[in-house]
Structures are given as C-alpha cells and as structure tokens.
Structure 1
Amino acid sequence: MSNCVTSSAPASALSALYRPQSKCFLLSASGLTRQLQLTGDLNDPNKVGGLRSFSLSEIMLQLLLSALLFVPHLQNAPQGDGFIRALEYMKKTPETLDELMTRNYALAEGDLVLSNDKNAVQSVWPTHDIAYLISKELAHRTKDILSGMAMLSEHTCLSFHERTSETNYLLFKDSKGCASYVGFRGGEQPVFMGPPCIVGNIAHEILHALGFQHEHTRMDREEHITVMSHNIMSGMEKNFQKKSGETFGLPYDITSIMHYGSAFFSANHLPTIVSKGEETKMRMGQRDRLTERDIERVARLYGCDVTKSK
C-alpha cells in the first residue's frame, strides 16, 4: 500500500478520488477512509486486475468497481492537487451516472439501464393509467416526481396513480443519478433518481420507461446533426450509436426532451453534437418541457386522441 497517498479531502460525504500516477483509489464515506491499490491496465476497464483493500462494505466495493469504468475518461479533466474527483464530476452531468450500487445493472447509454441477465425490451405498457410507487428514501422528492409525471399527463392520454395492489408499476428508487429501463418489463420496474435529477430529467426517464429511445440515435440524424466523435469520452462512443427504431413518421426533433445536449459526454469541453443550422427557440438537450413532436410520439405509440393542449 506504499504507493497510495492519503488526501486531505473532506470525507463528510461519499467521495472517490483517483491518483493515476500511483494507481491509487481513495474512497471516503461518512468520515471513514479506505485506500485501495489497483493492478492492471486502467486505460482498459476490461483489463483491470487485482484489488487489495482494507475491509469494505458491499456497497462501497460496488461503487468503486463501477466508478473504475469512468476513471480513464476523467484523466484529462482538471486535477486539483493531482487527484480526480470522479463522483463530483459525474454529479455535474447526472445522465452519465446511473445506478452504481446495484450489482445487477450495467451502464448502457448514459441514462439507460440494462440488466446483465436480460436485455431491455422496448414494448408498450398494457394500460394508459400507470401505477407508481415512491420509495421511502425519495419521499422528500415526491413533489418533483409528481411534476415529472404531470409533464406527460397534462399533454397526453397517459395518467399515473399511486400503486395499491397492481402487479405492474414504476418504482422510483434513490440513486446517484438518473436511469431507467426502456419499455415495459412487467412487475416492479425501477426508475432511478438521484439529487441531480430535476423535473425534466424525471420526465425524460419516464419516457424511457414508456418505450422511447434517445432522439439523437435516429437513423436519419445526419440530415440534422453532426456527431463529433473525436470529442467524445473514450468508451462512451456507444452512447451516440444510431439505432433502427420507430420514428412514428415524424420529423427529427432536435429540441426533443429525449435529445442529448451539445456537450454530453465531452472529453475536452468541446461539442459532441453540432446542429446543422436549424434555428430553434429551445436549446438542444433541453429538459424544460415536451415538444409538440414528443407529445405526438406518445400519442402514436399509445393510441392517444391528440386533443390536449400542446
């Protein structure tokens, strides 16, 4: 453990600090500090080797292993006192940090979650009135969650009600970031929420749960945007891969609530997505409201009568 250097950073909250020169990861939580010596090639998450540590809880270990996936992409970030504050960086972009503490989930597409034993199924919910449950840990975010659901219910034929005995329902769970499965899965379906998730992020995740992918992954995107691959964090290129999917016969919507922002997953603070000159009143990557095309997409997938205000 001689290569590990202790930092004086405060440990009042959960934090993870990485020093690339010594391959040392310093993990702190509630004043408890543990130093971990890593072996292997940290530039390739698939080659990370042995891990020697003092005794750690299961949650802390899961957090560490998940955070390691991001370390190579943070080595060019500003380093205060030679350290990279991995979690602090990720908290600033909540859709880059999914559920880090649950072993059965893996990062898929920024704010999408896939189970390791079952791929997400893009399918429609069998009802327009969807049950939900808010975990006790998120009780203080009830107002935000209800506001996120209201963004949909006010403009579509979908509604939400608190679960009583329904088998299929959305469970809003505490997390470190925003994440959701894509489409109906059946049974208890988690939607992960962390402190950085604003109302618009919540609506975005609910739309994923309803079956909608990111707008910028459409096959016809080249007519509207340019993806700046050289600016994307190494290993995050998959977030920008095109997907063949239902467009519902609607034009590309660069201001959709389901579209990435111009600097999402940027390795150098430069744009990862550039618009091809479309003039819009709203910014790309906005999370303020559903656009008319967002509303129309929901209507076409769920057979809504589009009579509500847009």
Structure 2
Amino acid sequence: MTPAFFFSVCLSMTAVCLRAAVIRNITDESLGASAIIEKVNANSTKVLVHGDIVPTATRNAVPCTAIGCKWPKTGPFVYVPVSIGLNTVSSSQERDVIINALVTFHASTCIRFVWRTTHRDFLHFFSGQGCYSYLGRQNGGQLVSLQRNGCLFQSTVQHEVLHALGFHHEQVRSDRDLHVRILTANIIPGKEHNFVKVQTNNLGTPYDFNSVMHYGRFHFSKNRKPTIVAKSNPNLNFGNAFQMSANDIARVNRLYGCCE
C-alpha cells in the first residue's frame, strides 16, 4: 500500500497487525449502503433472502446469535479472522477500502479483525455476483461478497460485516410495525419475502431510521411508489446511511458484551 500515512492496529492475541491506510474517500457513496446493495444485486442470480443474505439449510439464522452463531469472545475482545481474495481488489486503494471499513469496528466496539492463518472459522471477502453475506458465524470459511465496481464502499462493507456478526435489516425487526408501514401493493411481485418480519433481538435499542442496515423508502418498488413509510412522518427519507449509526454500534457492543 502506498498512501502517505499509515497506522497499525496490533492484536495481542495473534501477534499480527492489520495495517490500515488513512486515506480520503476515493469513491462516491451518494446512494447510501442499502441503495448501492439493491442496485448491484438487481441482476444477480444468487439465491438470497432479504436482499443480500445467503440462506442456510442447517440452521434458522434468526435469532441465531442465541444458539451458537456469535463469534467467540476471548478476554475483552472478539477476534474475527479475515482473508481477502485476490480477485476482490485490483489496487491498494480498493484493498484499503475493505481494511479501513473493518478498522472502524476497532474504534468503537470490541470486535477485532485479524488476518486468517490456521483459523477454522473466518470471513473471506471476495468479488462475487453482488454484495451479500451469511447471517452470523457459520462453520468454516464463510463468504462475504463485495463485487468490484459496485460494492467496495465503507458503508457496504460495514453492512455486510454486520450481517456476518449476526444482525438483520432494521425494517424487518420484530417491532417494526410500531414504526413503519410496508406497502405491499407497491412491491415487485416475488420480492415480498424481503420484507418479512423476523424475531430479532433488539437489545433494548430504539428503532433507527439512520441505521446502515435500513432499506430505503423505494426499495423493491414496482411503480416508483414507496414500499416503506414511516408512521411518524410519511415523507421521511431514510435508508441512505454512509456509515454505522450510534445504535448500530451500541447493538454490537451489547450483543458481544463489549462493556463487560
């Protein structure tokens, strides 16, 4: 990597460091995470649920964090091994986008990403067909797709990593009906499953329209009319977050006991 200034996040458990470059934003994230993901995944043939989650045949993903798909905690930290596929990036700047997005978790949570060596369970970032992830820790190496020329943004990396840590989309959380209305008449036929409510653990945090995990008002619309509207303000705009919100961070810390 060649940027002018570097910092190292040294991880005492593995004696390795993620060396991340502090660089200016080199890409345009004006659409926000959810809109970017919807756009990139629109023509994907990958079987996905809720827009960008890979279904599993062996377990019910939600609430999987209660039955074994959390990443283990060692001392004060949760170490998550990672690898980056050679086909994912073509330049140091593209690689830096992924690394810098991972390091944002280090600044505000007890999650610590380390380079995968002999670890059995790890996240493997690669350039697949679209942006997608599994929900929660799986067994062995699990894929996180960040399609080149589409998904390499801080917001989308954070979004997919939050899925891998066990978090679902905001608008399908268990109490969503108190906060939004789903306008099924405007949803593209066959895409209704992306709005199915799930039994999430909300960890005592409020519904968050600013979450990087929230869909936009027009997601999966067949007629350019809203598919999701806020009950408090039908004209409220949302789903265009560029980074994790304070509530996103609080949920990570509460689920993984970062303050314990």
**Paired residue for 1:206, among 134, 148, 161?**
161
Tell which structure's C-alpha radius of gyration is larger.
Answer: 1
Number of corresponding residues: 210
C-alpha separation in 2, matches of 1:170 and 1:120: 20
> Is contact 1:224-1:254 (8 Å) kept?
no
TM-superposed CA distance for 1:279, in Å, is 11
> Is contact 1:175-1:192 (8 Å) kept?
yes
What TM-score results when the alignment is normalised by the length of structure 2?
0.74
User: Is 1:146–2:99 an aligned residue pair?
Assistant: yes
TM-superposed CA distance for 1:150, in Å, is 2.4
Any gaps of 5 or more consecutive residues in structure 2?
1-35
TM-superposed CA distance for 1:97, in Å, is 5.3
1:45-88 per-residue CA deviation (whole Å, 9 max, x = no partner) reads xxxxxxxxxxxxxxxxxxxxxxxxxxxxxxxxxxxxxxxxxxxx
SS at match of 2:229: strand
Structure 1 runs of 4+ off > 6 angstroms?
none
1:161-211 per-residue CA deviation (whole Å, 9 max, x = no partner) reads 211221111001111211000001121011011121122011100000000
SS at match of 1:256: coil
Bigger relative contact order, structure 1 or 2, given CA contacts below 8 A and separation 6+?
A: 2
User: Is 1:252–2:202 an aligned residue pair?
Assistant: no
**Paired residue for 2:241, among 282, 287, 308?**
287
Relative to 1, partners in 2 of residues 1:161 and 1:278: Cα closer, same or farther, differing over 3 Å? farther
Relative to 1, partners in 2 of residues 1:208 and 1:245: Cα closer, same or farther, differing over 3 Å? same
TM-superposed CA distance for 1:212, in Å, is 0.4
> Is contact 1:97-1:111 (8 Å) kept?
no
Counterpart code for 1:220: D
Which residue of the partner structure matches residue 49 of structure 1? none
Percent identity of paired positions between Structure 1 and Structure 2:
34
TM-superposed CA distance for 1:304, in Å, is 0.6
Which residue of the partner structure matches residue 114 of structure 1? 55
User: Is 1:235–2:190 an aligned residue pair?
Assistant: yes
Which residue of the partner structure matches residue 10 of structure 1? none
SS at match of 1:137: coil
> Is contact 1:151-1:290 (8 Å) kept?
no
TM-superposed CA distance for 1:153, in Å, is 2.1
1:86-117 per-residue CA deviation (whole Å, 9 max, x = no partner) reads xxxx987125455x3xxxx62212011114x4
Counterpart code for 2:51: G
> Is contact 1:96-1:265 (8 Å) kept?
no
Relative to 1, partners in 2 of residues 1:269 and 1:295: Cα closer, same or farther, differing over 3 Å? same
**Paired residue for 1:190, among 143, 148, 162?**
143
Which residue of the partner structure matches residue 45 of structure 1? none
Over the aligned positions, Cα root-mean-square deviation in angstroms equals 2.4
SS at match of 1:252: coil
Relative to 1, partners in 2 of residues 1:150 and 1:286: Cα closer, same or farther, differing over 3 Å? farther
> Is contact 2:37-2:156 (8 Å) kept?
no
Which residue of the partner structure matches residue 175 of structure 2? 220
SS at match of 1:255: coil
**Paired residue for 1:301, among 237, 249, 255?**
255
Which residue of the partner structure matches residue 134 of structure 1? 84
1:121-159 per-residue CA deviation (whole Å, 9 max, x = no partner) reads 422111412110000101333112112212322211111
TM-superposed CA distance for 1:276, in Å, is 2.1
C-alpha separation in 2, matches of 1:110 and 1:276: 23
C-alpha separation in 1, matches of 2:233 and 2:106: 29
C-alpha separation in 1, matches of 2:70 and 2:120: 16
TM-superposed CA distance for 1:228, in Å, is 1.2
